[in-house]
Amino acid sequence: MSRFASILLTGASGEMGHGLIDRLAGGSRPVITLDLNPLAPELAKKVRKEFVGSILDTQLLERINAEYEVDEIYHLAALLSTRSEFSPALAHKVNVEGTLNMLEFAQKEGESHGRPVTFFYPSSIAAYGLPDLGVKTAAGRVKEDDFLQPTTMYGANKLYCEHLGRYYGRHYKQLATDKLGKVDFRCIRFPGLISALTVPSGGTSDYAPEMIHAAAQGEAYACFVRPDARIPFMAMPDAVEAVLKLMHAPADRLTRTVYNIGAFAPTADEVRRVVQEAFPDATITTKVDVKRQGIIDSWPGDVDDSAARRDWGHSPRYDFDSAFRDYLIPTIRNRYS
């Protein structure tokens, strides 16, 4: 039993978990994790306790609740967008029921130790649904409250869970009982993320990271979207920094529950050109997957992140050139050398 306030990460062995564990593990509070898969050994040694199991296992969640005083949650576990299209009912179970379980867990933790639980939820540009390419081009940088008609199960799940989080943040506060609001729900809609250390699986924005990781390993790559396909992207260290900034921002600075964040918004061809420049022997071709292309066409070409910049100082370190020049290319070269 831990008498100290602890931090819980779900989906901790995924892409974002890697970066977050590194940043959180050195702090004053112990980090505990919950994931279906065991953590990589170098991550496992940084955490106080690793639970291998599911967010759908409510008995396991009750056990964690009984053993740990959690007052910060990073709920990263999810099935990504392409994967979810193959198993929509399973996606709904993991992405929606799993999130509901974690919100209930947060409320109960808060009730038992008496302090609010800050809850981070990663939403996505998949929450948007632009009806066609003409509208997408004309829309430019999309604001948080526009075009919320997602076309995928994953996008629908993310959008609904944003609402669920807002509900948990307000509902108990409004009840005239002793169950004061215990969930301080904070959410970012991420663009596609590119990490030099891990490769995603099951996402639709995966073509950019896959292209660069394949080139670095000398493997040919067939990009599954057209060269002119455009969505916003961000380097993983900036995504991790944004999560921490939002989680540590004073509550009275926050004017929204859900924030867009952006950094750069290249076409697939612009990504190909910089990868090709760095790895001149790379063979990158195009083989369009109609379904995945349709998903990318429904996501915004870029996002308006002025609220995040104003409220909690979102300010990505890497633009398109420096993300590749200073972070992705050298770190990936190093990884595969």
Smallest gap, in angstroms, from Cβ of residue 230 to ligand SER?
14
Q: Which is nearer to ligand SER, 83 or 182 (CB)?
A: 83
Mask of contacts with ligand SER, 149-168, x by CB under 6 A?
A: -----x--------------
Among positions 101, 124, 151, 198, the unique one binding ligand SER when judged by CB under 6 A: 124
Among positions 98, 110, 165, 203, the unique one binding ligand SER when judged by CB under 6 A: 203
Smallest gap, in angstroms, from Cβ of residue 62 to ligand SER?
30
Nearest partner of 105 among 32, 214, 46, 44, judged by Cα: 32
Among positions 101, 107, 204, 298, the unique one binding ligand SER when judged by CB under 6 A: 204
- According to the binding rule CB under 6 A, does residue 205 interact with ligand SER? yes
Residue found by looking up tokens 């990936």 in the block: 332
Q: 170: Cβ–Cβ under 8 A, 6 or more apart, which residues?
A: 181
What one-character DSSP code corresponds to residue 265? -
**Could you confirm whether 154 is annotated as catalytic?**
yes
Nearest partner of 238 among 268, 196, 277, judged by Cα: 196
| Catalytic, out of 74, 121, 154, 168 | 154
Smallest gap, in angstroms, from Cβ of residue 79 to ligand SER?
9
Among positions 126, 153, 246, 284, the unique one binding ligand SER when judged by CB under 6 A: 126
Is the distance from CB of 155 to CB of 129 less than 8 angstroms?
yes
Residue 69's H or E segment, with its range, is: strand 69-75
Q: Which is nearer to ligand SER, 32 or 239 (CB)?
A: 239
- According to the binding rule CB under 6 A, does residue 80 interact with ligand SER? yes
Determine the Cα–Cα distance for residues 240 and 4; give it in Å rounded to an integer: 24
Name the segment binding ligand SER (CB under 6 A); options: 37-45, 168-176, 197-205, 306-314. Answer: 197-205
Q: Which is nearer to ligand SER, 101 or 205 (CB)?
A: 205
Nearest partner of 300 among 158, 132, 55, judged by Cα: 132
Smallest gap, in angstroms, from Cβ of residue 305 to ligand SER?
15
Is the distance from CB of 301 to CB of 265 less than 8 angstroms?
yes
Name the segment binding ligand SER (CB under 6 A); options: 9-17, 39-47, 130-138, 199-207. Answer: 199-207
Smallest gap, in angstroms, from Cβ of residue 193 to ligand SER?
6
The burial of 25, by beta-carbon neighbours within 10 Å (0-12 exposed, 13-18 middle, 19 or more buried), is given as middle
SS3 state of residue 1: coil
Smallest gap, in angstroms, from Cβ of residue 122 to ligand SER?
8
Question: Judged by CB under 6 A, how many residues of this single chain contact ligand SER?
Answer: 10
Determine the Cα–Cα distance for residues 223 and 215; give it in Å rounded to an integer: 12
Q: 283: Cβ–Cβ under 8 A, 6 or more apart, which residues?
A: 220, 221
Q: What is the dihedral of CA 199, 200, 203, 209, to 10 degrees?
A: -30
Q: Which is nearer to ligand SER, 118 or 205 (CB)?
A: 205
Q: Which is nearer to ligand SER, 10 or 65 (CB)?
A: 10
Smallest gap, in angstroms, from Cβ of residue 133 to ligand SER?
19
Structure tokens given for 329:
């290319």
Buried b (16+ CB within 10 A) or exposed e, 284-320: bebeebeebbebbbbbbbbbbbebbbebbebebebeb
Q: Which is nearer to ligand SER, 192 or 266 (CB)?
A: 192
Determine the Cα–Cα distance for residues 213 and 329; give it in Å rounded to an integer: 9
- According to the binding rule CB under 6 A, does residue 81 interact with ligand SER? yes
Residues that bind ligand SER (CB under 6 A): 80-81, 124, 126, 154, 190, 192, 203-205
Which residues are catalytically annotated? 154
